[in-house]
Amino acid sequence: MTTPLRLRARDSDDLAVLSAALQDAIVPVHDVTFLRRERRFVMAVNRFCWEVPAEVIEGEQVWQRTLCGVRFEGIDSAQTRGLDLRDRARMLDLLAITADEGGIVLSFAGDASLRLAGGGIDVLLEDRGEPWPTPQKPQHPD
């Protein structure tokens, strides 16, 4: 059993750690919401548990994924490039989260991105529920 992650990022160094924890998260667009009045952007993702080593089960390597909530506070606007948030059936593969002047950029596979503009960095990541096994480890070309 692994300890669920709960991380908060308030500067670019913190954000780099949070980004590493979320690398290769699967993001269902239907679980992404910008709450304009609350100045909050939230998403529920299937996080690959990079911090947990693979186990061998019945001769096969198995890793873990877990449901994870991510909340961005103080967001004034959300702008997309290469994706349509109205395409609720789309699944995104999160590659990185980086600080950008006046905001935060979420970069996804397929040259898609989401820029969250706001007055600083305040991000909370929190694992929810029990992890489940996956035989698939994300692969990246060199």
Indicate whether 119 belongs to any domain: yes
Indicate whether 66 belongs to any domain: yes
Indicate whether 141 belongs to any domain: no
pLDDT for residue 141 is more than 80: no
Indicate whether 48 belongs to any domain: yes
Indicate whether 11 belongs to any domain: no
pLDDT for residue 140 is more than 80: no
Indicate whether 139 belongs to any domain: no
Percent of the chain past pLDDT 90, that is, above it, reads 86
- Total domains in the chain come to 1
pLDDT band at 1 (very low <50, low <70, confident <90, very high): low
Indicate whether 44 belongs to any domain: yes
C-alpha of 37 from chain center:
22
Domain that holds residue 83: 20-134
Contacts of 36 (CB under 8 A, 6+ apart): none
